[in-house]
Structure 1
Amino acid sequence: MQLRDGLALACSALLSRPLRSLLTLLGVAIGIAAVALLTSIGEGLRGYVQDNFAQFGSRNVSIRPGMIRTSGLGGLLSSVRPLTVADADALRRLPHVEAVVPIIQGNGDIQFAARSRNTGVLGCGYQMAQAWRFKLALGQFLPAARDGRSPPYVVLGHRLRLELFGEANPLGELVRVGGTRFRVIGVMERKGQLLGFDVDDIAYIPVDWAQSLFNRNGLAKINVVFGTGTHSVLLSESIRRLLIERHGTEDFSLTTQDDMLRSLDRILASLTVAVGALGGISLLVGAVGILTIMTTSVAERTAEIGLLRAIGASPRQVLGLFLAEALLLSLLGGGLGLLLLGLLLGGLHLGLPGLPLSLQPLFLLLALLLAGLIGILAGLAPARRAARMHPVAALRSD
């Protein structure tokens, strides 16, 4: 029996039961579409988070107050001492440090004339725009402190400016932030969402004014941006030594941008595998469908198998014939699944344009290969059963 004849027999067998074949195809198609879609969502989320972190630069060390230690009884002991603006000023004097950003976060009422908005307020250092690669649409960013005290200036986010001033120029105007008057000296360029936060709806004020506004003694954290002449590990050690010298003990936590990216990458990679495994349950259902239809097909075509053997077909050719049917069934299901995937992605793009999706050609190829593998594995047992039939016994069964 030639290859062309075998393929023709396999196609005719599938077309002879079109409804049954179509239902089996749908089982595989839904499984392939589910795996590819969930995987693309996981990869899209992974890329989205990495891109957002990359906007802040890769040479970044974050310092937070407090260090968690494990006690001998298995409990957690927390040592917390505030980080201060003086600590941030001392860090600027370290070699290779390009920018230091002390940060205090909170919420407050921003008022101008009769307009008021409750939104985020970020107390930060004068190097924040440089360190975080933020650009200004109007004016300038917060200046450095003079004589130990920063002037009461504020920089508005893009959306906050529109809410308070519309299209009017806000530079030089006085606004109230938490009841305190600040003069507007700048407006940030539109930035959008970063890691789920709307940075366009924030008022940026000097960190020392934020301490008074929110009645805080210490900083929420300090970000240190360093140059290319050193490594994050070396700079972290320099920061650790300096702060221990100032505080007398290690009562702070250091996290580099590389550490955060590695941790997030591990978490999101695990998430991608998990959602892909959930979609694999649908593939398992499709495999059961192929196994069922092939087992039924072998039982219904026993006489045909006997006839093929009687006219000279070898057991290997019979095995190949039924494996070809299963493979063809699964590959057609995989192709239908990719078509279904395209429709789903189009619908998601229209309905949820902000949903991060990353569909890579390699995933599509792997989906088709996975469909073919499922077809072979599901059809192997029925095909072996057909190949082992005795021709005389098979002919008598009709």
Structure 2
Amino acid sequence: MLLPDWNHLIFTSLRYNPLKSLLTALGIAIGIAAVTLLTSLGEGVRSYVMDNFSQFGTRIIAIGPGKNNTSGMGGILSSVRLLTLDDYQSLKTLPYADHVVANVQGTGPVRFGERIRNTDIYGTTASMVEAWDFPLASGRFLPNSPGNNSPAFAVLGSKVWQELFEGRNALGQFIRVGGQRFRVIGVMQPKGSMLGFDLDDMVYIPADRALSLFNREGLMEIDVVFSPATSSEQMSERIRQRLIDRHGQEDFTIVTQDEMLSSLNSILSVLTLGVAALGSISLLVGGVGIFTIMTTNIRERTPEIGLLRAIGTSRRQLLSLFLGEAVFLAILGALGGMLTALLLLGITAMVIPDFPVQPSPFYLVASLLFSAFIGLIAGIGPAWKASNLSPIEALRDE
């Protein structure tokens, strides 16, 4: 049997009862649409999270107090020695350390005149804007104070500035942060949110002032941005040796940006794969529909099968005809469901531009191939039964 004849017989069979063919393909279409929508959402969330964590750069090493394999509240209660500003000053002298940032965070009221706002208060050091690429809208950032007695300066996030000053000039004005008096020396440009954490609804003050304000002895974290001339492994080892020399033991945790991004990517990829597997269940339902319709077609087309066998069609050719019909129905449904899902995603992107959806070519191709496989498996039974019909018995039904 020639390929054009094979295609003609399959398409003729599908056109003979278009409504039945459409309803059969609909089950696969719904499954593919579900897989496409769910995986697009999963990939969108993965890209959104990765972009948010990468916006501060990729050459960052975070040092936290306490070992990560001990118990306690965030490694603080289990820490033998806290991270201090002296540790921060020591790490600044390491080779290839471009920027070192000390961090301590809390919440409290920020007041200007009669206006008051409860917000995040972030204690940090002068190099934060260069390390994390936080540009200023006006003024300057916190100065570099070598001692532990920094001036009472504050820099406002854009949202805090809008709430307290309503867009007016804030430079030189005095505000109260947690009851203490600070002078505003700068306003940050809008930075947006990271995983629901509003980076603009924040007040930045010197780290030593924040330690006093929150009645803390140690920093929450020290971040080191290193030069591209070295690797994260080499820089981590330098940091480890320096802090062991100071602390006498390794009572701290070092996390590189590469490790964090790799872990996040692995977790989110597994979640996306799980969502795809969940959506694929509906493809199995579509496969059952193809099996049912193909079985019904065998009964209805018994005389046709007998005639084909009588004019010399081999069992193998007859098997390929019915398998081709099942696979074509599955692919037809898959393409219809995929196009529908992509259309819905396009509309969503226009209506809600910030909604994290991103179709993955890998999952689109994989779902299309899986649909063809489902059609092949669903069609094997009916096709095998058709190929084994006796031509004499089949023609008796004519």
TM-score (normalised: structure 2): 0.93
Unaligned 5+ residue runs, structure 2?
Answer: 72-76
The alpha-carbon deviation at position 70 of structure 1 amounts to: 6.7
- Tell me if structure 1 keeps the 8 A contact 2:121–2:205: yes
**How far, CA to CA, are the matches of 1:146 and 1:363 in structure 2?**
54
Alignment of 1:329-348 (within 5 A): 329-348=329-348
**How far, CA to CA, are the matches of 1:278 and 1:129 in structure 2?**
44
1:32 maps to a residue whose letter is I
Stretch deviating more after TM superposition (6-15 or 33-42): 6-15
Equivalent position of 1:354 in the other structure? 354
The alpha-carbon deviation at position 14 of structure 1 amounts to: 2.5
Q: Secondary structure at the match of 2:154?
A: strand
Q: Is 1:367 matched with 2:361?
A: no
Equivalent position of 2:176 in the other structure? 176
Quick one: structure 1 residues 68 and 367, their matched pair in 2 at CA, closer, same or farther if it must change by over 3 Å? closer
- Tell me if structure 1 keeps the 8 A contact 2:43–2:360: no
**How far, CA to CA, are the matches of 1:376 and 1:69 in structure 2?**
50
Equivalent position of 2:208 in the other structure? 208
Equivalent position of 1:85 in the other structure? 85
The alpha-carbon deviation at position 18 of structure 1 amounts to: 3.2
The alpha-carbon deviation at position 201 of structure 1 amounts to: 0.8
**How far, CA to CA, are the matches of 1:185 and 1:271 in structure 2?**
45
2:96 maps to a residue whose letter is H
Stretch deviating more after TM superposition (218-227 or 33-42): 33-42
Q: Secondary structure at the match of 1:200?
A: coil
The alpha-carbon deviation at position 4 of structure 1 amounts to: 3.2
- Tell me if structure 1 keeps the 8 A contact 2:39–2:275: yes
Stretch deviating more after TM superposition (24-33 or 4-13): 4-13
**How far, CA to CA, are the matches of 2:5 and 2:294 in structure 1?**
19
Equivalent position of 1:74 in the other structure? none
Q: Secondary structure at the match of 1:275?
A: helix
The alpha-carbon deviation at position 347 of structure 1 amounts to: 4.5
Alignment of 1:124-135 (within 5 A): 124-135=124-135
**How far, CA to CA, are the matches of 2:209 and 2:273 in structure 1?**
46
The alpha-carbon deviation at position 310 of structure 1 amounts to: 1.0
The alpha-carbon deviation at position 284 of structure 1 amounts to: 1.1
Q: Secondary structure at the match of 2:6?
A: helix
Equivalent position of 1:290 in the other structure? 290
Equivalent position of 2:145 in the other structure? 145
Equivalent position of 1:272 in the other structure? 272
Q: For residues 136-170 of structure 1, what are the alpha-carbon distances to aligned partners after superposition, in whole Å with 9 as ceiling and x for unaligned?
A: 11111111115431111111111111111122111
Stretch deviating more after TM superposition (308-317 or 89-98): 308-317
**How far, CA to CA, are the matches of 2:81 and 2:24 in structure 1?**
64
Q: Is 1:387 matched with 2:387?
A: yes
**How far, CA to CA, are the matches of 2:387 and 2:80 in structure 1?**
74
Equivalent position of 2:314 in the other structure? 314
Q: Secondary structure at the match of 2:392?
A: helix
**How far, CA to CA, are the matches of 1:172 and 1:271 in structure 2?**
49
Q: For residues 21-75 of structure 1, what are the alpha-carbon distances to aligned partners after superposition, in whole Å with 9 as ceiling and x for unaligned?
A: 222211101111111222222222222222222211111111111114479xxxx
The alpha-carbon deviation at position 301 of structure 1 amounts to: 1.3
The alpha-carbon deviation at position 344 of structure 1 amounts to: 2.5
Equivalent position of 1:4 in the other structure? 4
The alpha-carbon deviation at position 291 of structure 1 amounts to: 1.3
Equivalent position of 2:114 in the other structure? 114
1:324 maps to a residue whose letter is G
**How far, CA to CA, are the matches of 1:298 and 1:188 in structure 2?**
72
Stretch deviating more after TM superposition (296-305 or 58-67): 296-305
- Tell me if structure 1 keeps the 8 A contact 2:148–2:208: no
Q: For residues 4-23 of structure 1, what are the alpha-carbon distances to aligned partners after superposition, in whole Å with 9 as ceiling and x for unaligned?
A: 34333323333333333222
Q: Is 1:50 matched with 2:50?
A: yes
1:241 maps to a residue whose letter is Q
**How far, CA to CA, are the matches of 2:358 and 2:374 in structure 1?**
25
Alignment of 1:145-294 (within 5 A): 145=145, 147-294=147-294
- Tell me if structure 2 keeps the 8 A contact 1:67–1:80: no
Q: For residues 152-191 of structure 1, what are the alpha-carbon distances to aligned partners after superposition, in whole Å with 9 as ceiling and x for unaligned?
A: 1111111111111122111111111111111111111111
Q: Is 1:27 matched with 2:14?
A: no
**How far, CA to CA, are the matches of 2:145 and 2:179 in structure 1?**
21
1:117 maps to a residue whose letter is R
Q: Secondary structure at the match of 1:67?
A: coil
2:111 maps to a residue whose letter is Q
The alpha-carbon deviation at position 354 of structure 1 amounts to: 2.5
TM-score (normalised: structure 1): 0.93
Q: Secondary structure at the match of 2:200?
A: helix
- Tell me if structure 2 keeps the 8 A contact 1:104–1:219: yes
1:260 maps to a residue whose letter is M
1:115 maps to a residue whose letter is R
The alpha-carbon deviation at position 303 of structure 1 amounts to: 1.6
Q: Secondary structure at the match of 2:58?
A: coil
Equivalent position of 1:60 in the other structure? 60
**How far, CA to CA, are the matches of 1:207 and 1:373 in structure 2?**
61
**How far, CA to CA, are the matches of 2:2 and 2:194 in structure 1?**
61
**How far, CA to CA, are the matches of 2:361 and 2:103 in structure 1?**
42
2:107 maps to a residue whose letter is N
Stretch deviating more after TM superposition (373-382 or 96-105): 373-382
**How far, CA to CA, are the matches of 2:2 and 2:389 in structure 1?**
21
The alpha-carbon deviation at position 352 of structure 1 amounts to: 4.4
1:126 maps to a residue whose letter is A
- Tell me if structure 1 keeps the 8 A contact 2:110–2:175: yes
The alpha-carbon deviation at position 78 of structure 1 amounts to: 3.6
1:45 maps to a residue whose letter is V
Q: For residues 331-385 of structure 1, what are the alpha-carbon distances to aligned partners after superposition, in whole Å with 9 as ceiling and x for unaligned?
A: 2101211122023313433564322122244443333333222222221221121
Q: For residues 117-141 of structure 1, what are the alpha-carbon distances to aligned partners after superposition, in whole Å with 9 as ceiling and x for unaligned?
A: 1111111111111111111111111
- Tell me if structure 1 keeps the 8 A contact 2:39–2:360: no
2:393 maps to a residue whose letter is A
